[in-house]
C-alpha cells in the first residue's frame, strides 16, 4: 500500500512570495489533514477535509492560507503572501473515517524556509 505523498520536500522563498504544496493521500482515505509543525513544537492542525468538504479550518490563517481538495483525493495548500513566521514543516496526513480510532498516516512533509 502506497503511503501519503507530498511535494516538494523542501522549498525556500522570500517573504511576500507565494508557495504551494501538494498532497496525495492513501487510496480510499476520505479524511485529509494539513498540519503546520514549527521547529520544536508538535503538529498544529490547519485544515481537515472529509472528501472534498472542509470539516475544520478554525486555525487556518485565512488571510494568507488557502487549501482545496477539489475531487476528494489530492489536495493543495497555498500561502500567499508568505511571512517569516511561516517557516515550518507542513505535514499532510490521511485517515479512514470508518476506522474508529481515527489513526492518521503522515507524509514526509515539506520544509518551508521563508527568508
- Of 63 and 100, which CB lies nearer to another protein in the complex structure? 100
Q: Is the peptide bond before 93 cis (omega within 30 degrees of 0)?
A: no
- Footprint of another protein (CB under 8 A): 4, 6, 31, 40-45, 55-56, 91, 93, 95, 97, 100-109, 111
CA distances from residue 19 to 15, 16, 102 in whole angstroms, order as listed: 10, 10, 30
Least CB distance to another protein at residue 81 (A): 26
Least CB distance to another protein at residue 90 (A): 11
Alpha-carbon gap, residue 49 to 67, rounded angstroms: 10
Amino acid at each position: 500500500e502506497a503511503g501519503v505523498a507530498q511535494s516538494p520536500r523542501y522549498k525556500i522563498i522570500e517573504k511576500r512570495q507565494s508557495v504551494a504544496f501538494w498532497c496525495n493521500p492513501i487510496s480510499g482515505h476520505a479524511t485529509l489533514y494539513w498540519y503546520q509543525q514549527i521547529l520544536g513544537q508538535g503538529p498544529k492542525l490547519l485544515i481537515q477535509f472529509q472528501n472534498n468538504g472542509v470539516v475544520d479550518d478554525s486555525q487556518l490563517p485565512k488571510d494568507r492560507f488557502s487549501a482545496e481538495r477539489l475531487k476528494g483525493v489530492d489536495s493543495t495548500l497555498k500561502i500567499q503572501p508568505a511571512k517569516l513566521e511561516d517557516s515550518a514543516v507542513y505535514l499532510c496526513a490521511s485517515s479512514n473515517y470508518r476506522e474508529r480510532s481515527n489513526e492518521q498516516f503522515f507524509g514526509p512533509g515539506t520544509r518551508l524556509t521563508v527568508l
